[in-house]
Amino acid sequence: MKNDPILADIKQDADSLPYSLWEEIGFRFGDKGTHTSRTIMLEELSLLLHECAEDATRDDYVTAIVDYNCLGKRTAATRRLSGQRMRELYGLDPSLPIFRILRYCWYADEKGRPLLALLTAMARDPLLRVTSLPILRMQPGEELARQQMIDVLRESTRNRLNDSTLDKVVRNASSSWTQSGHLKGRVHKIRQKVEPTPVVTAYALLLGYLLGVRGHGLFKTLWTKVLDTPPEELISLAMDAKRLGFLDISYSGGMIEVSVDRMLTEDERRLIRE
């Protein structure tokens, strides 16, 4: 996808980037995305993670959705389709570091769940990532201009989506940004500021770290930009996250070092350092 916001944070030649590693971690790339037909499905994710145990397997999530109908869908076909869309958005597989750590943070931070869902869905849906560009340019109190979102989607997908599909993406993305707290209102979508928790901040830093960003750069990535919080305040939140046991951070003499090893397994640490 042209102008993928992820790549703005990566200081390397796009042709040499480790896409296969990033996909193994849980990121997704390309010109398609779940937002052609769904939102971030925050309510469904909440129901699913409430239904399943903290150590649930990939098969357990499928069973909860399809066999036990924990999402309350009317038909078996709708259950299967909902499961497919949720796997696209979140992975639903603890072998994927992004989902495993989402689940860990989810149970630890009820207040931060909408932002945790948004960050994960952004990592896995390129279309949702692109819609962040007009959202981040908005000021609190400003009304969303749908045409701006349409224009950035059309440019990024190189006109591969027709007008009808673009309209669906804008409608679904607007709903997703409302579910996350960045927008409010039903007909007229008004920008408002979100307030991240220490756990959400740690997760946002983790996503940047997994993509190879380090030091001060971690506080200027797409993931931290959507938290609507200046770097100085994010550093303070990261210090709180350290006290909660989510990461390690040292800040002295203008230099900053962040380690997310506390959130990673030994195999995951080895994977990202290969």
pLDDT digits (tens, 9 = 90+) for 109-135: 999 999 999 999 999 999 999 999 999
pLDDT above 90 covers a percentage of the chain that reads 88
Name, in order, each residue with C-beta under 8 angstroms of 77's C-beta and a sequence gap of 6 or more.
Answer: none
Instruction: Look at residue 187 in the predicted model and tell me its pLDDT.
Output: 87
Q: What tokens were used for 151? A: 């224009």
Note the pLDDT tens digit of each residue in 1-39.
778 998 887 766 566 789 999 999 999 998 889 999 999
Annotate 136-175 with b (16+ C-beta within 10 A) or e (fewer).
eebeeeeebeeebbbebbeebbeeebeeebbeebbebbbb
Average pLDDT over residues 226-237: 97
Q: From the CB of residue 198, how many other CB atoms can be counted at a distance below 10 Å?
A: 22
Q: What percent of the chain has pLDDT over 70?
A: 98
The string of pLDDT tens digits covering residues 75-114 is 999 999 999 999 999 999 999 999 999 999 999 999 999 9
Quote the pLDDT of residue 159.
82
Distance CA 195, CA 23 (A): 29
Amino acid 8: pLDDT: 80
Taking the model in full, what pTM does it have? Answer: 0.96
| Separation between Cα atoms, residue 37 and residue 43, nearest integer Å | 16
